[in-house]
Amino acid sequence: MRTSEFDPLSIEIFDRQLKKVTLVVLAVFGVLILRFWFLQVVNGSVYRTKSENNRIHLQDISPFRGMILDRNGATLVDNRPSYDLYVVPEEVQDLEELLERLSPLAGLGAEEAVQKLDEASRRYPFRPVCLKRDLSRDELAKVETHRFNLPGVIIKVAPQRHYVNGTFASHLIGYLGEINENQLNSGQYADSKPGDLIGKSGVEWKWQRDLNGVRGGAQVEVDATGRKIRVMARKTPVPGENVCLTIDKDLQAVAEKALAGKSGAIVAMDPNNGEILALASSPSFDPNLFVGGIDRASWEEIVLSGDFPLQDRALSGQYPPGSVFKIVVALAGLEEGIIDPEEELVCTGIYSLGRRGYRCWKKYGHGRVSLHRALVESCDVYFYDMGRRLGIDKISEYAMRFGLGKKTGFDPAHEKAGLIPTRDWKLKRWGVPWQGGETLSTAIGQSFVLVTPIQMAAFVSAVFNGGIVYRPQVTKWVGKSETEKINEFAPVVTGKIGIKQEHLEFVKNALIGVVNEPHGTGGRARLKEVTVAGKTGTSQVVALKKEEEFEREEDIPVQFRDHAWFVAVAPAENPRIAVAIVVEHGGHGGSAAAPIAGQLIKAYFGLDKSVLAEAVTH
């Protein structure tokens, strides 16, 4: 009935095979038992000696983390030695007595030290326990001189991350923190162990792998008192690669100073290739605080502060652009042939659409204006009309050509895309159709439009560099030095705006006028030595009407004040720097943001040594 029944021939074969298998098994086990004999009886005494008198310790040798430099090779972030205090529990006769002696020298809290040591001495009596990191020179000197009296105490030197200028470019550079469980499990940080510090944001995070280097170690034979007998094997750590950024340290300093005490962001870019020359966001934080493991008080101060110092406003701050957006509308209008640049409109201060009146910022109007003057003096009424003629979808189409409404690609994980509204969008998002009046507001950069400072910098660069939208980049090269690079970064083009040269020229001229002509709203950015072109913007936080309750701007409570924008390029004929500045609740673009642009450009071209010196020594 069953196919697997045994027949006599099979049985014979089976038994024969079983015999063979038995022999093999016996032979293999014989080898294994012999091996034990060899290890335990023949060479036993050797191993016994090793295990009793000598111990092998694995010492981690941390690699030196790569430095972060500015475009001229100046050091922004490096490492400095940290002297850490350790105690080996097993080697201490009387723990409490030792701590009593140690506390005043090293400034230790006696209680927590006792706790730490108590727990440790039960588990790993031979492993050194860290009592205090980063001893001051004073404490170090004191402990060292009394070492003979402090058995079991060891001072270890470890490299510690050092942010040379404190809160300088902190969002861009980022900070370090201890690797967490998710990151360890993810497999991306294969070389890391619990307790390792890794980059958590910014450049420190982006180039973590290259900056980190490869850890080394030593297998050290240690005798009964913990002294090293010999290094059995050593693997030299590989230091991390250095990262050279495109930012200019001096320019960055000027930017940081300009934002001190305010909230906002500055982005300065080279319009010819997208290299970021400075990127500042305020309020800011000091990455040095995170290095030893940030203490609770500092962390709470940062996190609960209410104005979000950890947020990088240059990338993720979304604001209505205000009048800066008029550049888009102007180019759209010219390109579509909707208006004739010579055509004049009368601005009386109010524009009617349907039953409503839309106000110009100048209460009684600008009088007769053509496109050039409308840009120079930022006439709202002129642009209401242009906006009406173009329609919201056309405006949005052009806006998106300039890279607005989507991330620049600089740091997709932390950037926001801003918002460029369309009819479809409004219907989907709000469930109501688009209103004509909203087109008017959009044309002057209010209403639903949102942009980020970095988008603005890329945008204004495109207007002046002949129409190329570059992706902003901040890494110049990665490697040991300029001459030993392992990675270099070419400019990346993310789009072409495709506007006719003559139209670009027209608008460029108008923007030069904004700064240099009388009545131009950007006059406070004017410089003698260099032709600056730009545009102001004032984006509303509350309705105009409410603002008018107050006589003077200074009386308006800060949280009601408008955000001040300014974008600029210099020199206009042959641009070398483009800036985008937003000052939250700064009031008018012309008064709050334009002067900052002037300072930056001046500093960039080395025109005012005193401005430079003042900024750098802060």
Partner 1 sequence: MFDRRLVQNFDWILLLLLLLLAGISIINLYSATYAIRDVGGSQVFLKQIYWFLIGFAVFFVMTTFNYFALERLAYPAYIFTIALLILVLFVGKVTSGSQRWLSLGPVSFQPSELAKIAMVIVLAKFFSEKRGYRGYRLRDLWQPFILIAAPSILILREPDLGTALLLVAGSFSMILFVKMYWKSLVILVGSAVSVAPFIWFSLKEYQRMRILTFIRPDMDPFGAGYHINQSKIAIGSGLLWGKGFLRGTQTRLHFLPEQHTDFALSVLAEEWGFVGSAFLLLLYLFLILWGLNIAKVSKDKFGSIMAVGIVAFIFWQIVINVGMVTGLLPVVGIPLLLFSYGGSSLISTMAAMGLLMNISMRRFMFQ
Nearer to partner 1, 48 or 80 (CB): 48
At what angle are helices 249-259 and 594-604 packed, to 10 degrees? 160
**Which helix (DSSP H) or strand (DSSP E) does residue 586 occupy?**
none
Nearer to partner 1, 190 or 297 (CB): 190
Give least dist CB 54 to partner 1, A: 9
Residue type, 449: V
Nearer to partner 1, 52 or 555 (CB): 52
CA distance 564 to 320: 10
CA distance 102 to 472: 53
Cβ–Cβ < 8 Å for 279, 169: yes
Give least dist CB 570 to partner 1, A: 52
Residue type, 487: N
Question: Which tokens in the block code for residue 492?
Answer: 């990346």
CA distance 259 to 268: 14
CA distance 416 to 314: 10
Give least dist CB 185 to partner 1, A: 6
Give least dist CB 159 to partner 1, A: 19
Residue type, 12: E
Nearer to partner 1, 1 or 490 (CB): 1
At what angle are helices 380-390 and 436-443 packed, to 10 degrees? 130
Nearer to partner 1, 16 or 80 (CB): 16
* Catalytically annotated residues: 323
Give the total residue count for the chain. Answer: 618
Detail the DSSP E strand segments found in 322-415. Answer: 345-347, 350-353, 356-359, 367-369
Classify burial at 445, counting beta carbons within 10 Å of its beta carbon; exposed 0-12, middle 13-18, buried 19 or more.
buried
To 10 degrees, the CA torsion angle through 556, 560, 561, 562?
Answer: -150
Give least dist CB 131 to partner 1, A: 20
Nearer to partner 1, 187 or 261 (CB): 187
Nearer to partner 1, 235 or 480 (CB): 235
Question: Which tokens in the block code for residue 230?
Answer: 């010999």
Tokens 């603005």 belong to 456
Helix (H, G, I), strand (E, B) or coil at 37: helix
- At residue 465, φ and ψ (nearest 5 deg) are -100, 15
Give least dist CB 29 to partner 1, A: 5
At what angle are helices 326-335 and 453-464 packed, to 10 degrees? 40
Nearer to partner 1, 219 or 435 (CB): 219
Question: Which tokens in the block code for residue 520?
Answer: 């131009």
Give least dist CB 38 to partner 1, A: 9
Q: Which residues bind partner 1 (CB under 8 A)?
A: 1-6, 9-10, 13-15, 17-18, 21-22, 25-26, 28-29, 32-33, 35-37, 39-41, 43-48, 50-52, 55-56, 58, 60, 122-126, 184-187, 190, 217-219, 232-235
